């Protein structure tokens, strides 16, 4: 199995665990006399088995991805940077105080044009890293 296939399987296992926990939550405590759709004891056993399988799969993915771990961490940080840049306040100009009517000015050190340029460059770097990771994930067996 390639890392790409393992990542898809991991996502399926995470979704399955979410569903199992939801079923357990809905069926563990019911009003007396009501029917349970699922047996909580069986669900808990299935959850435990899925947790073990998911942990093993994540460990295999983690170990196999050692050669590109820096790229993985860098991409995560660049995505965070892009998000922070998106919400960076770049407003400039007069600000009127709504209580006393005073006027002050906002001054941005990094103007919107520079932030847009930084954001675009960051997005391009993310895309380049994603290509490297995609090639690695599709060609590396675990």
Interatomic CA distance for residues 82 and 127, integer angstroms? 12
pLDDT tier at 117 (50, 70, 90 boundaries)?
very high
Interatomic CA distance for residues 58 and 15, integer angstroms? 14
What burial letters (b/e) apply to 43-78, b meaning 16+ CB within 10 Å? beebbeebeeebeebeeebeebbeebeebeeebeeb
Note whether 88 and 126 are same-domain residues.
yes
Residue 46 lies in domain: 1-64
Note whether 58 and 122 are same-domain residues.
no
pLDDT tier at 110 (50, 70, 90 boundaries)?
very high
Note whether 72 and 41 are same-domain residues.
no
Note whether 58 and 73 are same-domain residues.
no
Note whether 73 and 141 are same-domain residues.
yes
Interatomic CA distance for residues 57 and 67, integer angstroms? 18
Of the three residues 19, 37, 64, the one that is the final residue of a domain is 64
Please tell me the pTM assigned to this model: 0.78
pLDDT tier at 91 (50, 70, 90 boundaries)?
very high
Note whether 135 and 80 are same-domain residues.
yes
Note whether 60 and 80 are same-domain residues.
no
pLDDT in tens, 51-75: 999 999 999 999 999 999 999 999 9
Note whether 88 and 60 are same-domain residues.
no
The domain tally of the chain equals 2
CB 66 within 8 A of CB 113: no
Note whether 55 and 72 are same-domain residues.
no
Tell me, what's the pLDDT at 44? 98
Least confident range from 61-65, 92-96, 123-127, 132-136: namely 92-96
Note whether 58 and 80 are same-domain residues.
no
Residue 98 pLDDT > 90: no
Residue 13 pLDDT > 90: yes
Note whether 88 and 112 are same-domain residues.
yes
Half-sphere exposure of 37 (CA within 13 A, CB side): 7
């Amino acid at each position: 199995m390639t890392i790409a296939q393992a990542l898809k399987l991991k996502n399926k296992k995470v979704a399955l665990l979410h569903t199992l926990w939801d079923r357990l939550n809905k069926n563990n405590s019911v009003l007396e006399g009501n029917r349970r759709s699922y047996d909580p004891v069986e669900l808990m056993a299935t959850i435990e088995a899925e947790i073990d399988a998911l942990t093993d799969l994540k460990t295999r993915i983690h170990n196999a991805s050692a050669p590109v771990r820096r790229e993985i961490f860098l991409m995560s940080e660049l995505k965070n940077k892009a998000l922070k840049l998106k919400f960076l306040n770049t407003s400039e100009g007069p600000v009127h105080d709504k209580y006393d009517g005073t006027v002050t000015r906002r001054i941005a050190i990094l103007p919107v044009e520079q932030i847009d340029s930084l954001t675009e460059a960051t997005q391009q770097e993310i895309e380049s890293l994603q290509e490297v990771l995609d090639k690695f994930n599709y060609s590396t067996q675990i």
